[in-house]
Structure 1
């Protein structure tokens, strides 16, 4: 059975729609990120700040990469890392999972390599395999975005690194919506919620230890993930989710500072949870 069955069209149709953005409550935490959005699984928007502005979102792009792969792959599929995968990440100065040419990994392990250390080498390998070819894979990402109603999102690669022209973009609202879809996959949720993932040395690859760049997982209870990101153009970004008072809360901070995004996210989860409980 293909993994895509876990994210069926019937399930997708159940994803909560987004309401209008209310005025920020007086007791809401200060949000200094350039763009922000907080919504819960009942459809209540708890905070919006330029949430429909189109901006680069750095490695948050990898959420869509994982989503597309999960619709097409089997976790046991094996992919061989190419020299091009390694060179691509190194040349662009991107974060890598330390993969080497000739190593062979299951899709399950490559999803951890993609989402925890934010490996552009893993992104390249997955896109190349499931396009097949990166151009075809990017087209799949954009078709999927349209099918999910992400009207203000455009992808130009599978990893979020800046492109010289016709750069990709998204919005805080679109990224929150994508996360709601992705988190309906138990596989995706397991991956992005892991603090660390280790693969033992085998005949086909070295031992690897991948640690999650999302510090929010260690700062608060009930955190589900989801993804960090950074480029000069995008600033520090954080797509996060947690469970509070029986509801799933998803938040996005774009164009923030490094450590501040985690402390702000923690406060926003608690704030939204209080709004749910006493709202």
Structure 2
């Protein structure tokens, strides 16, 4: 979950800066997953009619995004931005009779750009939170939580992590809301401390686990699944997913673009394109059953 927090807690254990590790097994992406096919449905006139006139006139949607955050958004070997949210954005735009123009930006600048109107919406692993809903509406895309991974055959218990070395992506929920509170608890109880290996990308955190530099990885469940698929059997999940929350595409509060995107999402769900798109990126659970804005069902307007 991409929620930026300041590192206000004391640094516990070893905090590493991001580095590209030799022998990396997860951060060299060549392109879309095996068996991938483009999913760009035909425009649906009744849904396209919901698009705000200024956006309809220009013929495309701008979506702010911040790679790398595989499988949601990252760059292929040619430097193109690809990923689950890019595919979903393309499919939604297609239903609306529009093209999608991904715009790479610093993560912290995407939502302000949406507010300023320089971006139509944001799609970069945003967690739909009550705090953010004060300024934005979120067209939800899926539910995900925190999922730990271990080296294959190990016996790591996420509920008893004292004494372990744990890899995370810096400033994510896994870092600030999962591992660091657990590290503080270990110290408060006089138990062996946790060493926190914090990296600037989830790929490097997963690589640390695969290479044996960490005992465990804490990351968003789709990120963990993606890493496992690319680690050649070196790592596996451990424990249950927890802290489940919705992801979403952010639009300005009250914008008519929200209902238009939600109607397009409902169309993708109804036709099965939503499910097919998720499966292509190894997402097997957390699916929406109905289109949601801020976790509330939206009736498609025709």
Shared fold, TM over 0.5:
no
Q: From the CA coordinates, give the structure whose radius of gyration is larger.
A: 2
Which is richer in helix?
1
The TM-score by the shorter chain falls in which range? under 0.3
User: Which structure carries more relative contact order (alpha carbon 8 Å, separation 6+)?
Assistant: 2
